[in-house]
Structure 1
Amino acid sequence: MNIQLGFEIAYKFPRPTPMILNLNIHYSRAPDLLRPDHLLTHPAVSTTAYRDLFGNWCTRLVAPAGRFVLSTNALIRDSGLPDSIAPSASQTAVERLPESTLVYLLGSRYCETDLLSDFAWQRFGSGPSGWARVQAVCDFVHQHIEFGYQHARRTRSALEAFKEGKGVCRDYAHLAIALCRCLNIPARYCTGYLGDVGTAPPFGPMDFAGWFEAFLGDRWYTFDARNNVPRIGRVLIAQGRDASDVALSCTFGPDQLDGFKVWCDEVQ
């Protein structure tokens, strides 16, 4: 299966403004690219690339004053298989976890483990462990939060999503991540593309998606508390402790969003 994906994002800047972008497809999917996701800018500016602490590809540039457009249009090969399900995946004791996973046990900007720990153990501590425990967390979050684009707020934390009971995909992910970490399960935030392949209409407006991964046994598994069913055609952009580590764009000065379009469609 081939998927065409990309975006066109427009800004207005009152003056030249430095930017850091996290918009390239994750290096783990690079072998699947049939047409690369080269970042285009209009007007054209000089860019430099680097890898951040989590291995994500990032771009630095200085946007000129006026209207500035970022875009890409890539083609990627996908297996067409849904997210993996592994009910037998066990929870690894903290003392046996790989060192690389330990940072994903700690609280972070949007995931207040210290404030959610009591609830997490009261709700899930006496139930099954491993895969079933993470799925129980997803089931709870999926039912607890009411989805709506009108509920989007970029400053909302996991605790606030828990108290307010509303949000968008990133809020589902943050709350599930925080609860998993409280239960000694490493969990990390993911952002990327997720189209409507394999789902029934009507389709909602296309946007970038947020989900999470939990470390069980000896590997990371994909979980999606927002949809709470295995999905087809998920394409990772970046991973981090929470959304603050994988912001699609950071602008170091005032800006105004002037246009936003994302696509992710199966093509022949």
Structure 2
Amino acid sequence: MKLRVGYELQYEFPQPTPLIAMLNIHYSRVADLAAPDHIVIIPSVPISCYRDGFGNWCSRIVAPAGHMSLSTDAIVTDSGLPDEIALDAAQIAVEKLPEEAIVFLLASRFCDSDRMLDLAWTLFGHTAPGWARVQAICDYVHQRIAFGYEHARVTRTASEAYQEGRGVCRDYAHLAVAFCRALNIPARYCTGYLGDVGTPPPFPPGDFAAWFEAYLGGRWHTFDARNNTPRIGRVLLARGRDAADVAIATTFGPNTLTSFRVWTDEIAEGPA
């Protein structure tokens, strides 16, 4: 199937302000793009790009004083299949993990797994290691946190999400990742597009989504504690230790986000 994905972000800046955007589709999905998802900036300003330590594509600009918009509109081909379930995916002993997975065992800014060791083992130590344990974590987090955009707070850590019992998709992902790491399962935070394909209406407003990947059975697998069911049409933007690594826009000065739109829509394909 084909998906139309995109965003429009509008800002007001009181002065010229450096900005780093992480808004391009991840290199692992570039082959699925019908055309490059270039960032359109109005008014036009110079842009330079680089890859960060996790392989994410980052764009640097200096936003001019006044109004500025960032947008894109792209078409992505997707398999149309839901997230894979691999019930036999086993947990890998720490000493046998590949070096690149080790960083995703460590506590990070929002995934403070070091504060949750005893709790994690109390809650999940009785579960079977591997897929069943990660799914048990997702089931618990899905029930523990009450979703609501009014509960969003950009400074909330995993342990605070556990204590407060409320949040948005990033909080579900942070808490699940922290539990996984406390149980010696590498886990990394993901952000991207996720539409409503295959789900019943009414549909919520468009937004970027957060989920996570756990390293089991020698590879990374997708999990989603917020929705807690296999979904269709995920389009990855970036991966990192937590949301601090994959912010869609990091600004180095005062600003106001005046408008925010995200879309992920299935394109109806007619008969051949």
- Which TM-score tier does this pair reach, normalised by the shorter chain? over 0.9
Partners of 2:197 and 2:154 lie apart in 1 by: 27
| Residue in 2 that maps onto 1:185 | 185
| Residue in 1 that maps onto 2:266 | 266
Consecutive unaligned residues of structure 2, counting only runs of 5 or more, are none
| Residue in 1 that maps onto 2:120 | 120
| Residue in 2 that maps onto 1:257 | 257
| Residue in 1 that maps onto 2:46 | 46
| Residue in 1 that maps onto 2:33 | 33
The Cα offsets for residues 240-261 of structure 1, whole Å up to 9 and x where unpaired, read as: 0000000000101100011100
The Cα offsets for residues 177-214 of structure 1, whole Å up to 9 and x where unpaired, read as: 00000000000000000000000001111100000000
| Residue in 2 that maps onto 1:97 | 97
The Cα offsets for residues 46-100 of structure 1, whole Å up to 9 and x where unpaired, read as: 0001100000000000000000000000000000000000000000000000000
| Residue in 1 that maps onto 2:24 | 24
Partners of 1:258 and 1:46 lie apart in 2 by: 22
Superposed CA RMSD in Å reads 0.5
| Residue in 2 that maps onto 1:248 | 248
| Residue in 2 that maps onto 1:12 | 12
Deviation of 1:113 after TM superposition, in Å, equals 1.1
Deviation of 1:35 after TM superposition, in Å, equals 2.3
In the alignment, residue 257 of structure 1 is paired with which amino acid? L
In the alignment, residue 191 of structure 2 is paired with which amino acid? T
| Residue in 2 that maps onto 1:142 | 142
Deviation of 1:224 after TM superposition, in Å, equals 0.1
SS in 2 for 1:34: coil
Consecutive unaligned residues of structure 1, counting only runs of 5 or more, are none
Partners of 1:11 and 1:119 lie apart in 2 by: 41
The Cα offsets for residues 104-143 of structure 1, whole Å up to 9 and x where unpaired, read as: 0000000111111100001111211100000000000000
Partners of 2:236 and 2:202 lie apart in 1 by: 24
In the alignment, residue 194 of structure 1 is paired with which amino acid? L
1:153-164 equivalence runs, <5 A: 153-164=153-164
SS in 1 for 2:210: strand
Partners of 2:219 and 2:54 lie apart in 1 by: 16
Partners of 1:230 and 1:57 lie apart in 2 by: 27
Q: What's the TM-score, normalizing by structure 2?
A: 0.98
| Residue in 1 that maps onto 2:3 | 3
In the alignment, residue 40 of structure 2 is paired with which amino acid? L
The Cα offsets for residues 15-68 of structure 1, whole Å up to 9 and x where unpaired, read as: 110000100000000000012211000000000011000000000000000000
Give me the identity figure in percent.
65
SS in 2 for 1:263: strand
| Residue in 1 that maps onto 2:167 | 167
| Residue in 2 that maps onto 1:88 | 88
In the alignment, residue 166 of structure 1 is paired with which amino acid? R
Partners of 1:124 and 1:5 lie apart in 2 by: 37
1:223-238 equivalence runs, <5 A: 223-238=223-238
Partners of 2:23 and 2:74 lie apart in 1 by: 12
Between the two proteins, the alignment pairs up a number of residues equal to 268
